[in-house]
Amino acid sequence: MSSPLNRRHGFTLVELLVVVAIIGILVSLLLPAVQSAREAARRTHCANNIKQLGLALHEYYNSRQRFPSGVIAKGDNFRDGDHSGFSLLLPFFGRQNLHHAYDFDSAWRSDNNRAMRQTRLDLLLCPSSGNQVPQVGDVIGTPTDFAFSKGTLAYLCAKSAGGGMFGINSRVRISEISDGLSHTFAIGEAASSSNLPAAST
């Protein structure tokens, strides 16, 4: 006969199932909280990017005494501008090398600017967005999740006057902003999507 002290105790199948069920319930309760915390961190990251872009705008203004154009276009081709205002801001958020490499004599679509338009800039991206733009013909670019405020007439329009701070070929000074800087929309989130037209950076 074996003594009670030498008898081995184990879990029954029912006990194991109960433990697994409890663990499953705990995971299902914790998962939304973890996802919520991650999304809050992504929102904070996105807000910090906007803040950095705002600082770059002020640095640009201090250097040039005007704000950059939202879009630079030659002639009357307002539907597809030659350069984005973000290309002018590059030196003011630490990307001087890209600014020097960018050929402002050629449009963003040209082969001269292929390396520039295919360079991913984390400052212009939000972690929660898809970060995708469709390929337009043979032109491949990287997405941006922020856009300049161009007013009621946006980038893809046939008229030059946008009504916002960053219109096509605009050169706005602080003295022209009647509502004051703290009450004027400058840059906002415009998450990239494969369902939206591609935009250059």
- Cβ neighbours around 189 below 10 Å, total: 15
Provide the H-helix boundaries in the chain: 13-64, 85-89, 96-101, 114-117
Answer whether residue 53 shows pLDDT above 80: yes
Mean pLDDT, the chain, rounded, equals 77
How far lies 35's CA from each of 22, 46, 131, in Å?
Answer: 20, 16, 19
pTM here is: 0.70
**Distance (Å, rounded) from C-alpha 12 to C-alpha 133?**
55
Average pLDDT on 188-201 reads 54
Domain ranges across the chain: 9-201
Q: Copy the structure tokens of residue 160.
A: 């030059």
Task: Give pLDDT tens digits for 134-149.
Answer: 555 556 667 788 888 8
Task: Give pLDDT tens digits for 8-43.
Answer: 566 787 878 888 888 888 888 888 877 777 878 888
* Residue 154 pLDDT: 56
